[in-house]
Structure 1
């Protein structure tokens, strides 16, 4: 079984940086170790959507998410995160960089019964 998580993050509001961030996430551009880490941690699918300087990540994760990180990959993951920090601006000053969103509407809930 899987379940969905949705998170949000802002980008630095600079057109050149936003374009560069998009390039870093183009097909084949994400480092293979990062993709491997994402899958090993229990993500089955992940999409990042963008409007202006706002990102929304929609992910389907395994029931045992989050899984333990592979220690061998963590130096590369740390390097990737440091590289992404140039572009990213967390929504909240404290807490995780990607803020977990709360679902407030579901069409299925509206039409049930």
Structure 2
């Protein structure tokens, strides 16, 4: 059964950079090696949502996520490219990009 993880990250507040970032995430624009690496780690589906310069990523992952897999060198290249557009949240650890979010409410579920 897949589990859901949500993460947050900010973009540099620049309309041109935000448009370029979105273009790099348009259908068939993300590098195939990046998508293959996500699948290898156990990511089954992923969505990124944006409002202003704030983003939220929702990932449905396998029970054994994250799987220990070697990252191709292109992954570092992709991450360096993405840092051009992204900026860490104020409370992120040094070098941390996507910060895990904590669910605080679930309509229709009892805990």
Same fold, judged at TM 0.5 (above): yes
Unaligned runs of 5+ in 1: none
**What's the counterpart of residue 15 of structure 2?**
15
Aligned partners of 1:17 and 1:69: how far apart in 2? 31
The count of aligned residue pairs is 109
State the TM-score, normalizing by the size of structure 1.
Answer: 0.91
Aligned partners of 2:93 and 2:105: how far apart in 1? 26
Give the CA deviation at 1:66. Answer: 0.2
Aligned partners of 2:55 and 2:12: how far apart in 1? 11
**What's the counterpart of residue 99 of structure 1?**
99
Unaligned runs of 5+ in 2: none
2:51 is equivalent to residue 90 of structure 1: no
**What's the counterpart of residue 79 of structure 2?**
81
CA RMSD of the aligned region, Å?
A: 1.5
**What's the counterpart of residue 59 of structure 2?**
59
State the TM-score, normalizing by the size of structure 2.
Answer: 0.92
Give the CA deviation at 1:93. Answer: 4.4
Aligned partners of 1:34 and 1:56: how far apart in 2? 18
Give the CA deviation at 1:70. Answer: 2.7
Give the CA deviation at 1:56. Answer: 0.2
Which protein has the bigger helix share?
Answer: 1
Per-residue Cα deviation, 1:31-84 (whole angstroms, up to 9, x for no partner)? 00000001000001000001000010001000000001234x2x1000000000
